[in-house]
């Protein structure tokens, strides 16, 4: 884990919190804004934020096709909240720009508006109990192929993994003091 160069897509959203969590884990966080930044990392986190904006910016800066190529070559990727939406092959009721990498269908803003945000304890396969912050969070409506469900909350799918290099969470572990989900991702990298 220590010393691994992990990128955080730093175009919009909660990238600074991921940077701090990765540093606390002993990894070397790299803010990714260009193709050159992306080439330098061993894994990538797409943070929470506004998924439509992040998707458009990835496209404008030509990072979308580069990310897809790197992930298909095996680079680990983790999407939190908006990042989960961007990784999905299908987004319910939306045609927004996205990467379409994971065999999941997501529903945007499924847990309500910003004022309905909440924090709760979660049970995660391979981790145990962890804390999750939900802010206008999506959830996964459907999985197929090799996608594995790692956690649910109130019968909704909130954490999935596909293969050994793709991870997505509807919640924000970076907004808690716990590092277990970051360490789980680092083990994938």
Q: Is residue 66 predicted with pLDDT exceeding 60?
A: yes
pLDDT band at 108 (very low <50, low <70, confident <90, very high): confident
pLDDT of residue 63: 96
Q: Which residue did the predictor score with more confidence, 112 or 71?
A: 71
Task: Tell me the torsion sign for CA atoms 181, 183, 188, 189.
Answer: positive
How many CA atoms lie less than 13 Å away from 120 in the CB half-sphere? 15
| Backbone angles phi and psi of 69, in degrees to 5 | -60, -45
pLDDT of residue 112: 63
Distance CA 161, CA 72 (A): 15
Q: Which of 98, 162, 174, 182 is catalytic?
A: 174
Instruction: Tell me, yes or no, if 25 is annotated catalytic.
Output: no
- More confident: 14 or 53: 53
- pLDDT score of 1 more than 60: no
Residue with tokens 């197929």: 144
Active site residue 174: yes
111 confidence band (pLDDT: 50, 70, 90): low
Q: What are the domain boundaries of the chain?
A: 5-188
- Candidates 25, 81, 162, 182; catalytic one: 81
pLDDT at 124 over 60: yes
Q: What is the pLDDT of residues 91-106, one digit of tens each?
A: 998 888 899 999 999 9
* pLDDT grade for 3, boundaries at 50, 70 and 90: confident
Would you tell me which CATH number, out of the four given (3.40.50.620, 3.20.20.70, 3.40.50.880, 3.30.420.40), belongs to the domain 5-188? 3.40.50.880
**Cβ-contact 131, 119 below 8 angstroms:** yes
């Amino acid at each position: 884990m220590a010393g691994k160069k992990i990128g955080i897509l730093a175009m919009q959203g909660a990238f600074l919190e991921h940077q701090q969590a990765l540093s606390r884990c002993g990894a070397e966080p790299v803010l990714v804004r260009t193709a050159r930044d992306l080439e330098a990392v061993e894994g990538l986190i797409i943070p929470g934020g506004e998924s439509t904006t992040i998707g458009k910016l990835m496209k404008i800066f030509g990072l979308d096709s580069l990310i897809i190529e790197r992930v298909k070559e095996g680079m680990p990727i983790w999407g939190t909240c908006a990042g989960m939406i961007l990784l999905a092959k299908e987004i319910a009721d939306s045609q927004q720009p996205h990467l379409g990498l994971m065999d999941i269908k997501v529903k945007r803003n499924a847990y309500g508006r910003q004022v309905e945000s909440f924090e709760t304890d979660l049970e995660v396969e391979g981790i145990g109990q962890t804390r999750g912050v939900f802010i206008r969070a999506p959830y996964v409506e459907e999985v197929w192929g090799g996608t594995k469900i790692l956690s649910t909350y109130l019968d909704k799918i909130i954490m999935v993994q596909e293969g050994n290099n793709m991870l997505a969470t509807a919640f924000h572990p970076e907004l808690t003091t716990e590092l277990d989900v970051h360490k789980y991702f680092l083990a994938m990298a």
